[in-house]
Amino acid sequence: MITQYEVPLLLKEEIPQMPAHAKLVASRFITTDIYTSINSFSAYTKHAVEEHNFTLARKCFAIAEKLYRQGDAMVRLLIENVFVYSFSSFIPEIRVDKLIIKTMIPAVLYAVYIKQVTGSGC
């Protein structure tokens, strides 16, 4: 099980090219560390999608799925409420791009996204 304290280091190892401000090592301010790490990871994924860097986007979605499946309760909650919640801000309007991105999103995360969208009345 991946704990909230391991996420910053895992992200640093999995995506070493992520901007330095997103590479937070669990030391102090642990509570905000996990939130900040997932928030930075979401922004990084959004940037990859917007730049049509589909190889990197696919890798980010795979890491998010790993965190969701193997994470503790806090990690799962933040993946749902920060990472998945951000999908609406970066799923393209262009039909072809939208289809490409949808094929990259792991089924488990896309199901959470659909649940969020339909649950909010959108």
Convert the pLDDT of each residue in 8-56 to its tens digit. Answer: 989 989 998 887 544 444 333 333 578 989 999 999 999 999 999 999 9
Mean pLDDT of the chain: 87
Q: pTM (2 decimals)? A: 0.85
Distance CA(28)–CA(97), nearest Å, equals 40
| Contact (CB, 8 A) for 12 and 23 | yes
d(CA 119, CA 98): 21
Query: Residue 17 phi/psi, 5° resolution?
Result: -80, -5
Residue 44 falls inside a structural domain: yes
Domain coverage including residue 103: 7-119
Q: Does the residue 35 lie in any domain?
A: yes
Domain assignment present for 1: no
Place of tokens 């730049």: 51
Report yes or no on 85 lying in a domain.
Answer: yes
- Measured in whole angstroms, how far is the alpha carbon of residue 15 from the centre of its chain? 12
Q: Does the residue 40 lie in any domain?
A: yes
Number of domains within the chain: 1
Q: How far is CA 89 from CA 4, 27, 72, in A?
A: 25, 31, 26
Q: Which pLDDT score is estimated for 120?
A: 60
Provide the pLDDT for residue 60: 97
> Is position 2 within any domain?
no
Question: Distance between CA atoms of 28 and 16, rounded to whole angstroms?
Answer: 21
The answer to whether position 91 is within a domain reads yes
Q: Is residue 18 a part of any domain in this protein? A: yes
Alpha-carbon span 112 to 117, nearest angstrom: 9
